Amino acid sequence: MKLPLQITSRNVSLSETAEQTIREKAAKLDLVCDRIMGCRVLVEAPHRHQQQGNQYNVRLDITVPGAEIVIKREEHEDLNVAIRDAFDAARRKVKEHTAKLRDVKGAEGIPLVDQAPDIDQDFDIEQAS
């Protein structure tokens, strides 16, 4: 990542373990795509229900060249599960975005790695007599 990871919490205090988990998962996300410019993580407990207890939302804003990928997962009672689900969804979206970029480059005439021409077939070798 070009910019440092930003972790923000609202209505909940994050433990060192939760922050470390977020940092580790962001580092793994950076391995999926090395063109990630920045990542902002928001962890919030929006409101308390007497029947359900604490619910946690995790939102990720990932900046890549040409796009902003936003991940907002459903509320979950377990903070670690909410973090895991958000980063799993982010990994899928980042992979999807990079695949889309690869397809666009291929459509513009830049050969993809899988579509590189076979050198032996492109050149006719004439034998001199």
pLDDT tens for 56-107 read 999 999 999 888 999 997 788 899 999 999 999 999 999 998 888 777 655 5
- Cα→Cα distances 116→67, 113, 119, Å: 28, 6, 9
Residues 13-61 have pLDDT tens digits of 999 999 999 999 999 998 888 889 999 999 998 766 555 667 899 999 9
CB atoms within 10 A of CB 59: 15
pLDDT at 121 over 80: no
Residue 9 parent element (H or E): strand 6-10
pLDDT for residue 112 is more than 80:
no
Residue 104, amino acid: V
Q: How confident is the model at residue 5 (pLDDT cuts 50, 70, 90)?
A: very high
Domains annotated on the chain, with CATH: 6-112 (3.30.160.100)
Q: Which are the contacts of 98, defined by CB distance < 8 A and separation ≥ 6?
A: 32, 33, 35
**With contact defined as beta carbons under 8 Å apart, do 42 and 14 qualify?**
no
Task: Please tell me the predicted confidence (pLDDT) of residue 48.
Answer: 64
